Amino acid sequence: MTQDQLKAVVGQAALAYVPEGAIVGVGTGSTVNCFIDALGTMRDHIRGAVSSSIRSTERLQALGIEVFDAADVDRIPVYIDGADEIDHGGHMIKGGGAALTREKIVADLAERFVCIADASKLVDVMGTFPLPVEVIPMAAAQVARRFNAMPGVQATVRAGVTTDNGNPILDVRGLKITDPLAMETEVNQWPGVVCVGIFARHKAAVCLLGTAEGVKTLT
Ligand code: 5RP
C-alpha cells in the first residue's frame, strides 16, 4: 500500500472511536483529511466537531458538519489527529502543518487522544523530524539562540509560514528527545514560546498505525 492508502485506512479506522452523538475533536493534516472525509459519512450520528485549524474547519463545514468554538465546549470524548513522529510511549512531535497550538488546546479538552499515522511515523527516539515551536515574533531570535546553544542543534524560522494565530514557527533540527516530558516542560517556560510541538502531557492514549499488514492498534 502507498503512504496515502495507509492514511486513508487509519482515517477510516478512527471512526470506531467516535461515540454516537459526540462533539469530536479534529486535528489537522493530510491523515486527518482522510478522517474528516470518513466522518462525513456519519455526520448525522454526531453533534459536530471542534477543529484545530481554519483548514480543517473549512473541510468539515464543506461536508455539512457543524464546527463548535472551543471556547463554547467544556469537554469532548475524543480528539483525533495525526503526528509527525510518535514514540513507543505515545509521545509525539506535531506541528509540521503549523497547527500545533490549536491542536494542543483541543487535545486538552479531550478525554483521550487517538493518533492516526502511517507506519513511517513510529520512531524509537523523536527528533529526526524538526521540532516545531510557535513563538511570539519578538521572541523568535532569542528562542532560536537558546536552542542553538545546545550542541549540534540548529533552529531556523520556517520561511513563508504564519500560524492561524499570526505567529512564526521555528523548526529545530538535531535534537534527540529522550525525555519528552522534561523537554516540553522546559521549553514551555521560555519567554515568548507560545507552544512547543512536543505532545507529552497530551500524549496519545491510542495510536492507529497504518502498516502493510493492516491497522495496528498501539496503546
Ligand atoms: C499539523 C500536525 C499534523 O498532525 C502532522 O504534521 C501530521 O501531518 P500529516 O498527517 O499530513 O503527515 O501536527 O500541525
So what's the pLDDT on residue 31?
96
Question: Which among 168, 158, 165, 97 is positioned nearest to 138, based on CA atoms?
Answer: 168
Mean local confidence (pLDDT), 102-118: 97
**Ligand 1 center to residue 94 CA distance, Å?**
6
Neighbours of 201 (CB within 10 A): 14
pLDDT of 9 higher than 90: yes
pLDDT of 175 higher than 90: yes
Pocket test for ligand 1, best of 2, 5, 9, 30 (most atoms within 8 A of CB): 30
At residue 3 the predicted structure's pLDDT band, cuts being 50, 70 and 90, is confident
Active site residue 103: yes
**Ligand 1 center to residue 183 CA distance, Å?**
20
Whether 99 contacts 27, CB under 8 Å: yes
User: Mean pLDDT for the chain?
Assistant: 97
So what's the pLDDT on residue 65?
97
At residue 140 the predicted structure's pLDDT band, cuts being 50, 70 and 90, is very high
Whether 74 contacts 106, CB under 8 Å: no
Mean local confidence (pLDDT), 45-61: 97
Pairing of strands 154-157, 169-173: antiparallel
- 81 Cα nearest atom in ligand 1: 4
Residue 93, C-beta contacts closer than 8 angstroms, at least 6 positions apart:
83, 84, 85, 86, 126, 127, 129, 131, 132, 177, 197, 198, 199
Which stretches of the chain are DSSP H helices?
3-13, 30-39, 54-62, 100-109, 140-148, 180-188
So what's the pLDDT on residue 56?
98
User: Which residue's alpha carbon is nearest to atom 7 within ligand 1?
Assistant: 83
Q: Give the helix/strand (H/E) hosting 93.
A: strand 92-93
176 is in an annotated binding site: no
So what's the pLDDT on residue 1?
83
Q: At 104, list the grid cell.
A: 494542543
Mean local confidence (pLDDT), 33-40: 97
Please tell me which residue in 20, 66, 85, 103 is annotated as part of the active site.
103
**Any residues with Cβ below 6 Å from ligand 1, and which?**
27-31, 81-84, 94-100, 103
d(CA 88, CA 102): 24
Mean local confidence (pLDDT), 61-77: 97
Eight-state DSSP code of residue 128:
S
**Ligand 1 center to residue 38 CA distance, Å?**
17
User: Which residue's alpha carbon is nearest to atom 6 within ligand 1?
Assistant: 96
44 is in an annotated binding site: no
Neighbours of 24 (CB within 10 A): 29
Mean local confidence (pLDDT), 98-102: 98
pLDDT of 207 higher than 90: yes
At residue 212 the predicted structure's pLDDT band, cuts being 50, 70 and 90, is confident
Mean local confidence (pLDDT), 135-147: 98
What are the Cα distances from residue 113, in Å, to 16, 70, 144, 146, 181? 13, 16, 30, 30, 16
